[in-house]
Amino acid sequence: MSLVSINEIHKHFGDLHVLKGITMDVREGDVVTIIGRSGSGKSTLLRTINGLEGIDDGAIHVDGTELVAGQKDLRALRLKVGMVFQQFNLFPHLKAGENVMLALKVVKGISKAEAREMAMAAMTKVGLAEKFDAYPDQLSGGQQQRVAIARALAMSPKVLLCDEVTSALDPELVNEVLNVVRQLADEGMTLIMVTHEMRFARDVSDKLVFMHEGRVHESGDPKHLFVNPGTPELSAFIQSVS
Q: Work out whether 43 is an interface residue with Mg ion (CB under 5 A).
A: yes
> Which CB atom, from 42 or from 78, has the smaller least distance to Mg ion?
42
13/155 Cα distance (integer angstroms)? 30
On whether the CB atoms of residues 56 and 11 are closer than 8 A, the answer is: yes
* Residue 36 binding result from ligand ADP, Mg ion, none, given CB thresholds of 5 to 8 Å by partner type: ligand ADP
> Which CB atom, from 13 or from 91, has the smaller least distance to ligand ADP?
13
* Residue 44 binding result from ligand ADP, Mg ion, none, given CB thresholds of 5 to 8 Å by partner type: ligand ADP
71/55 Cα distance (integer angstroms)? 9
Of the candidate residues 23, 29, 39, 87, the single one contacting ligand ADP (CB under 6 A): 39
Question: Smallest distance, Å, CB 8 to ligand ADP?
Answer: 18
E-state strands within 114-206: 159-163, 190-194
Q: What is the DSSP string of 64-85?
A: TEEEETT----HHHHHHEEEE-
Classified as helix, coil or strand, 31 is: strand
> Which CB atom, from 4 or from 96, has the smaller least distance to ligand ADP?
4
Please report which helix (H) or strand (E) contains residue 207, including its range.
Answer: strand 207-212
Q: Work out whether 205 is an interface residue with Mg ion (CB under 5 A).
A: no
* Residue 18 binding result from Mg ion, ligand ADP, none, given CB thresholds of 5 to 8 Å by partner type: ligand ADP
Classified as helix, coil or strand, 35 is: strand
Question: Smallest distance, Å, CB 101 to ligand ADP?
Answer: 30
In 3D space, the residue among 115, 75, 78 whose CA is nearest the CA of residue 99 turns out to be: 115
Q: Sign of dihedral through CA atoms 85, 81, 54, 22?
A: positive
Interface of this chain with ligand ADP, residues 101 to 160, rule: CB under 6 A: none
Q: Work out whether 217 is an interface residue with ligand ADP (CB under 6 A).
A: no
> Which CB atom, from 40 or from 190, has the smaller least distance to ligand ADP?
40
Stretch that binds ligand ADP, among 34-42, 91-99, 168-176, 217-225 (CB under 6 A): 34-42
Residue numbers at the binding site for ligand ADP (CB under 6 A): 13, 16, 18, 36, 38-44
